[in-house]
Amino acid sequence: MRLIENLLVANRGEIALRVFRSCRDAGIGTVAVYSDADTDSPHVTSADAAVRLPGNTPSETYLRSDLVIAAATQAGADAVHPGYGFLSENAGFARAVRDAGLTWVGPAPEAIETMGSKVESKRLMAEAGVPVLPELDPADVTEADLPVLVKASAGGGGRGMRIVRTLAELTDAVASAQAEAASAFGDPTVFCERYLDTGRHIEVQVMADAHGTVWTVGERECSIQRRHQKVVEEAPSPLVDAAMRAELFAAARTAAKAIDYVGAGTVEFLATASGEFFFLEMNTRLQVEHPVTECTTGLDLVTLQLRVAEGERLPQEPPAPRGHAIEVRLYAEDPAAGWQPQSGTLHDFHVPGVVAEFALPHRHGIRLDSGVTAGSVIGVHYDPMLAKVIAWGPDRTAAARALSGALARARIHGVTTNRDLLVNVLRHPAFLAGDTDTAFFDRHGLDALATPLAGERARTLSVLAAALADAAANRANARVLGGLPSGWRNLPSAPQRKTYVVAGTEYEVAYRLGRSGLVAEGNECYEDVALVEAVPDRVVLAVSGVRRTFTVGRHPGLVVVDSPLGSVACAPAPRFADPEAALAAGSLVAPMPGTVLRVAVSEGDSVSAGDPLLWLEAMKMEHRVSAPADGVVAELPVVVGQQVDLGTVLAVVDLNTEESE
């Protein structure tokens, strides 16, 4: 046995913090690496030591194996944990770590190499007797094979994947997937396989030691996905019964033993509603969704990784599962705008009812694994996941209710997130019934699922609360006569007015405070509203005799009102418009900071509504910018490789006025 004394985590954010927690419990020292963009990241200050990797992008920093190993040597680390993503499934990196005399907390490089190629791994699994979907060469796909899924041979996380339903789409889909795969993984190899519209994504957690013991530690269902990336995960799967579980576990053990696997890994399958399943891939690392397995088994999978890397033997059998756990990935993104990633400052972040952070809950409740805190800046260089919020309960219904309630009450100020979508999913009858295949968003309608929790009435009342809280803050900060009522006059006068922009819509509040109390105008929702209390951070209104409390957070250029009715972000409207901010008609602006990856048109080209104009690369994903209507490309002020900021004009399309109207 070779005991680990000081471990470097070759990763960032939430997973680095997760590994550090297990290290602290075991008495192991910790080393962080960080890019310039992550200088103030919580994982940097949490470690015992931290080493800078100069640069911002992954290719300059976290994907530079030479820099990471040099950092380990410089900081005196004797082991490296790769986390997930970045270099976690890079066999060359694993070899380099071992060659440097360091302990590699992961499987052998040969196992990573074998399973790192989806083409080679499928061939091997088929030979071992594990059911697989046949691989198709993109050049050989016929009409009879459709629909197919184009997949990157290396990597995962939804990158380098495209659904193709017609042969006309195939060439562009392959080219796009190759470009994304090359950017994300350094390998442009792609292949095709049959696409199941309504499959279930089931995976089995395995843990194996160097002495021949292979555990199958329960299954997880991860079918609710966007862009082939998981959004909701749970253990156990509502689809899997005892017989199917035995078959899945046997297949997973066969897969692990076929490559002499050692460490934590996940064997992923695509299953049908009838219980038939096919091998997809094996992830030779810890999974993002490992907390649901930890909650239901009581195991600390990171601690087990460390012990196995040190040479310890596992007991013969893992503990039996207990209860049900559900995890959601809270992203800085706008689902209603095509899952558009968001960036900016996270002014406030609090999830209520948390009983454990990065650790096994001591009782049923909420676990939070988050790489951000209030004040964190969400940049454009990395995945926009803010946190994993996990609920562990005695059964599936209890876990879903606890998780949806915690999310609905969370304070998340400063960036748009998928929080409301997650709550709507967890409360959806189909989800509660366990009907959760990979077509969940398509079948139930993304527009409906992304509907804000705060409806129109809630928004109107929240805007009134924002105005009253702002007025109270002004009085509190007044240097002269601050104790006077807001808008006080000797005689009745014009109402006070305040205008806010909520999700692109302007709301004007007009109100008076007189002897008879609050008189608000302009909306029928105000007809039976009385003011109970208004202070800078809280407003209490009696609405048709029912008291409702609105908590108000005030940030630069933003007022966020939280209540049981939903969270409403109110941006105070400027009193005077800036003429320099006006855009020419037909202008298409960058929805996020990024890099121009490809350009499909030239100035003077005629385009139809929906035609791709160019592609941006941001947050490790490719984003298409399309023509809003028929017209002619009048301006194209950007070139391939150019870095653009949020709001940069990418193209101007002179629209066909008659058709656009």
Domain 130-194: CATH superfamily is ATP-grasp fold, A domain (3.30.1490.20)
pLDDT confidence of residue 577? 62
**Quick check: 482 pLDDT over 80?**
no
**Quick check: 582 pLDDT over 70?**
no
pLDDT confidence of residue 661? 42
pLDDT confidence of residue 659? 46
Query: Residue type at 532?
Result: V
Q: Mean pLDDT over residues 619-643, rounded? A: 87
Fold (CATH) for 323-451: D-amino Acid Aminotransferase; Chain A, domain 1 (3.30.470)
- For 579-660, the fitting CATH number among 3.30.9.10, 3.30.460.80, 2.40.50.100, 2.60.120.200 is 2.40.50.100
pLDDT confidence of residue 581? 58
Instruction: Classify 57 as helix, strand or coil.
Output: coil
Same fold, 323-451 and 579-660: no
The C-alpha R_g of the chain, in whole angstroms, comes to 27
Asked if residues 462 and 525 have their Cβ atoms less than 8 Å apart, the reply is no
Query: Residue type at 581?
Result: A
Q: Mean pLDDT over residues 215-225, rounded? A: 97
Task: Give 323's contacts (C-beta < 8 A, 6+ positions apart).
Answer: 295, 296, 364, 392, 393, 394, 395, 399
Fold (CATH) for 6-105: Rossmann fold (3.40.50)
Worst-scoring range by mean pLDDT, 129-143, 236-250, 368-382? 129-143
Strands (E), 130-182: 135-136, 148-152, 162-164
pLDDT confidence of residue 227? 83
Number of neighbouring beta carbons within 10 Å of residue 525: 18
**Quick check: 493 pLDDT over 80?**
no
The per-residue pLDDT for range 648-661, each reduced to its tens digit, is: 899 999 987 554 44
Top-confidence residue, 577 or 188: 188
The per-residue pLDDT for range 342-369, each reduced to its tens digit, is: 999 999 999 999 999 999 999 999 999 9
Q: What is the DSSP string of 215-278?
A: EEEEEEEEEEEETTEEEEEEES-SS--HHHHHHHHHHHHHHHHHTT--EEEEEEEEE-TTS-EE
pLDDT confidence of residue 396? 98
Top-confidence residue, 398 or 477: 398
* Rounded CA separation 111/399 (Å): 36
**Residue 182: pLDDT band with limits 50, 70, 90:** confident
User: Which single residue is written with the structure tokens 């995962």?
Assistant: 156
Mean pLDDT of the chain: 92
* Rounded CA separation 661/112 (Å): 56
The per-residue pLDDT for range 232-253, each reduced to its tens digit, is: 999 999 999 999 999 999 999 9
What sign has the CA pseudo-torsion 306, 309, 313, 317?
Answer: positive
The per-residue pLDDT for range 54-106, each reduced to its tens digit, is: 999 999 999 999 999 999 999 999 999 999 999 999 999 999 999 999 999 99
- For 456-477+485-572, the fitting CATH number among 3.30.700.30, 2.40.70.10, 3.30.1110.20, 3.65.10.10 is 3.30.700.30
The per-residue pLDDT for range 406-421, each reduced to its tens digit, is: 999 999 999 999 999 9
Q: If residue 611 lies in a helix (H) or strand (E), which one and from where to where?
A: none
Asked if residues 94 and 266 have their Cβ atoms less than 8 Å apart, the reply is no
- For the chain, what are the domain ranges? 6-105, 130-194, 323-451, 456-477+485-572, 579-660
pLDDT confidence of residue 70? 98
The per-residue pLDDT for range 444-478, each reduced to its tens digit, is: 999 999 999 999 999 999 999 999 999 999 988 88
**Quick check: 537 pLDDT over 90?**
yes
pLDDT confidence of residue 660? 43
